[in-house]
Amino acid sequence: MTIECVAIIGLGLIGGSIGLAVQEMLPDIATTGWDADTEVRRRAAGRGLVGMVCETVAEAVGEADLVILCVPVGAMGHAAEAIAPHLKPGTIVSDVGSSKNSVGAALSAALPDAVIIPAHPVAGTEKSGPEAGFAELFRHRWCIVTPGNDAPQDAVDAVSGFWEGLGAKVEVMDADHHDLVLAVTSHIPHLIAYTIVGTASDLEDVTRGEVIKYSAGGFRDFTRIAASNPTMWRDVFLSNRDAVLEVLGRFTEDLSLLQRAIRNGDGDTLFDLFERTRTIRRSIIEEGQDDARPDFGRKDH
């Protein structure tokens, strides 16, 4: 199964990065794109995010072997309905949504006859929109593919090969497990960051000016992810509710234990945890998912 033309629906951070990456790393594949927003289409064309920014969704997907929906999770169903009448037979429909169970269900409902291979590139920044994308976003990052049980293997291979072509490493897993893993490694960290930044903004005894001034003590690391796209993240929490609530329950239990240790002056419990959490950092650096340099090496990976 060869992919000759990819259509990207939604030309923001992820859609734009895919378009740029394909043009740079898989130059034999033609790219078309469409976004519901006229202004986004104009800016996407200006940056050359895809080979051809189309004025209609029909035009964008009509010749595609692979259509990738890059819209917020809550808009996946609408986007799938919009492309449905215009697909040629055999076209693979994929997406990049941050939660997979509910997106898989929405795509299947809107496209009962299509070949659906959901995927999630675990890579991003706190920016959004057509100016935010860059071709290297997926390099050395993982892309999780979550095909249903009856998905044809050659389509799974085609989507996997496509992502590998953009520099990503691919793992296949079922949607339920994806949603639990990402609740831990992405959704709960974002929820916590949003919460603490909100808490800090609302205190009466500490001004916002003070919070900003002294943010270098640790707080600023949270503000980066708490500056992420509100629409995207609202949709993630609503669509991955069960897994998010489950992991959140564990987190609040663990936090209560530490709260009690602080109240009781139990330094050993604190020290033991703080010692244990160091090792995970080391493994992340060894696995190439972060960097020990002061600039986190964000420049080259």
Ligand X SMILES: NC(=O)c1ccc[n+]([C@@H]2O[C@H](COP(=O)([O-])OP(=O)(O)OC[C@H]3O[C@@H](n4cnc5c(N)ncnc54)[C@H](OP(=O)(O)O)[C@@H]3O)[C@@H](O)[C@H]2O)c1
Residues 48-77 contacting ligand X, CB under 6 A: 70-73, 75
User: Quick one: angle between helices 241-263 and 175-182, nearest 10?
Assistant: 30
Q: How many residues bind ligand X (CB under 6 A)?
A: 30
Q: By C-alpha distance, which of 18, 63, 2 is closest to 163?
A: 18
Residues numbered 225-254 forming contacts with a copy of itself, rule: CB under 8 A: 225-228, 230-231, 233-235, 237-238, 241, 244-245, 247-248, 250-252, 254
Residue placing its CB nearer to ligand X in the complex, 16 or 147 = 16
Residue 13 binding ligand X, by CB under 6 A: yes
Residue 91 binding ligand X, by CB under 6 A: no
Residue 96 binding a copy of itself, by CB under 8 A: no
Residue 23 binding a copy of itself, by CB under 8 A: no
Beta carbon of residue 137, minimum distance to a copy of itself (angstroms, whole number): 10
Residue 33 binding ligand X, by CB under 6 A: no
Stretch near ligand X under the rule CB under 6 A, chosen from 32-40, 155-163, 176-184, 277-285: 32-40
Beta carbon of residue 164, minimum distance to a copy of itself (angstroms, whole number): 16
d(C-alpha 18, C-alpha 50), whole Å = 9
Residue placing its CB nearer to a copy of itself in the complex, 41 or 187 = 187
Pick from 40, 61, 155, 243 the residue near ligand X by CB under 6 A. Answer: 40
Q: By C-alpha distance, which of 276, 279, 230 is closest to 126?
A: 230
Residue placing its CB nearer to ligand X in the complex, 152 or 231 = 231
Residue 111 binding a copy of itself, by CB under 8 A: no
Residue 295 binding a copy of itself, by CB under 8 A: yes
Residue 179 binding ligand X, by CB under 6 A: no
Q: How many residues bind a copy of itself (CB under 8 A)?
A: 102
Structure tokens that stand for 243 in this block: 């897994």
Stretch near a copy of itself under the rule CB under 8 A, chosen from 12-20, 46-54, 76-84, 222-230: 222-230
Q: In whole angstroms, what separates CA 16 from the centre of its chain?
A: 13
Residue 20 binding ligand X, by CB under 6 A: no
User: Out of ligand X, a copy of itself, none, which partner does residue 70 contact, by CB within 5 to 8 A per kind?
Assistant: ligand X
Beta carbon of residue 12, minimum distance to ligand X (angstroms, whole number): 2
Residue placing its CB nearer to a copy of itself in the complex, 88 or 250 = 250
